[in-house]
Amino acid sequence: MAETRGGEPGDGAAEVLDRPLPDGVRRRVVQIVSDGFGGLTVAELPAQLRQYARFAPNRRAKFAGNAMAAAVESDPLFRQRIGEKFREAEPELSGALDSGTPPPAADPLDVAAAAYVLRPAGWVKLVTAAGEEAQRADAERADEESRAELARLRDELDRAREQTRAETERLRAELDAVKKEAESLHRKLRAALSDVKRGEAALRKLRGETEAVRTEGHAQVSAAESETRRLKARLGEAEAALEATRRAAREGRSVEDVRLRLLLDTVLDAAQGLRRELALPPVSVRPAETVDAVEPGRMTPKDIAARALSENDPAILDQLLALPQAHLVVDGYNVTKTGYPQMPLEKQRLRLLGQLSQLAAQSGAEVTCVFDGAELVAPVLLAPPRGVRVLFSKPGVTADELIRQLVRAEPPGRPVIVASTDREVADGVARAGARPVASAVLLKRLVRG
């Protein structure tokens, strides 16, 4: 309770709080001090608080809370200045406290904190009542939390019991299964032990037979050595006769060589004469050119969907293109829609074909780019770049099927690389002997230049 020390009866400044300030009230007091702190000059602040003059209100309340609470309690002048700032910020609450009739709807903690700073008559009762109210609220809240926690723990206990029963039943079933398995293993072990005993008896028998065979083998080796010495003597005689025969054949070999060379020249001249007589042109048709497709300039390609494969190192593509007579078949729209789908189809084709032309020039490999030409309604004005064969699929034939036809047209053993992220295309060409490569790998290689 409060007692009066000096001053007139009813003077709030003379009242003294005989118990610690409740935590809730103390926090509100620190906030009031922090809010009014910024309106004071450095000279108006107590010495211990001047170092916090430039702090933000929230930061000031966090780091200087204890110091501000102590200053309000021990420095009446500082408390008076804070009270003046509070009166300016909260005139209604301040006036109500001065008149002795705090607002009924106001928070008791706010009323108690304001009373602690302003020190009106009866402020100790307000602070004490706020502390008791906070304690009752805390007790009620703790009781509710305890009941909720107890209910939660009971639910968890019920669930744990149910899980324990289920786990026990499962373990019993597993134990029964393990017992049955152990019995089966015991039977198998007994059978295995019987087999081992029979095997040991057979091993002893085999050792006896092996020893007999070894003795017989020694006798045969001795006989073989005698035969070998006899054969070596005969071999020496045969080698001497062979050398004599070689010397006799060496004398007539030069005549035979001349006859064979003359026959070879005759065959070559006959072949050249036959080529001239038949007017055979040089071989200019590649197997890929025999596949039925639409040439550029006749139809507009249709977009196809792409299904991504996993990406790999683009260096693998360089190794594949370095193989002799390598043929790179590119699923055109699959690559462009993987790399730059936002561009128009015409620009996609031009960009891809330009990059493929550079790749063909660098690697020296044969390059064929296939576009889907189904359901085209307008001609495609396209000049194939140097080193790149451009094909469009015919109506009713997808680019995937055209790619598989190109792979099947190649002779077995030729390295054929197919760039596509379409899983069906990749699997199909792999079964036909080609090497599938993801479109992302080709795009990385083309960007590298």
Reduced to 3 states, what is the DSSP secondary structure of residue 286? coil
Q: Is residue 271 part of a domain?
A: no
10 falls within a domain: yes
The DSSP 8-state label assigned to residue 335 in this structure reads H
The reply to whether 440 falls in a domain is yes
Residue at a domain's end among 144, 178, 205? 144
Torsion of CA 78, 81, 86, 92, to 10 degrees: 130
Q: Which residue among 129, 144, 159 closes a domain?
A: 144
Q: Which residues contact 85 (CB under 8 A, 6 or more apart)?
A: 35, 36, 39, 40
The tokens for 267 are 């065959």
Would you say residue 237 lies in a domain?
no
Give the model's pLDDT for residue 391.
Answer: 92
Q: What pLDDT score was predicted for residue 397?
A: 87
Which pLDDT tens digits describe the chain residue by residue (449 residues)? 333 333 333 455 556 665 677 777 778 887 788 777 777 777 777 877 777 777 877 777 777 777 777 777 777 888 888 878 878 877 877 777 777 777 776 777 777 777 777 777 777 777 777 667 666 766 777 778 888 888 889 888 989 999 999 999 999 999 999 999 999 999 999 999 999 999 999 999 999 898 889 888 888 988 888 888 888 888 887 887 787 777 766 665 565 665 566 556 656 766 776 666 665 555 555 777 667 665 554 443 333 333 333 456 888 899 999 998 899 999 999 999 999 999 998 899 999 999 999 999 999 999 999 998 864 556 566 777 889 999 998 888 889 999 999 999 998 888 999 999 989 999 999 998 999 999 999 999 999 87
The DSSP output letter for 393 is P
Domain ranges, residue 7: 3-144
Return the CATH number at 314: 3.40.50
Q: In this structure, is residue 179 part of a structural domain?
A: no
Q: Are 19 and 128 in contact (CB under 8 A)?
A: yes
- Domain tally, the chain: 2
- Concatenated DSSP letters of 326-339: -EEEEEHHHHHHHH
Domain final residue pick, 81, 116, 144 = 144
pLDDT value of residue 137? 67
Q: What is the pLDDT of residue 309?
A: 34
- Domain annotation covers residue 287: no
Position 367 in a domain: yes
Q: Note whether 114 and 97 are within 8 A (CB).
A: yes
Is residue 234 assigned to a domain?
A: no
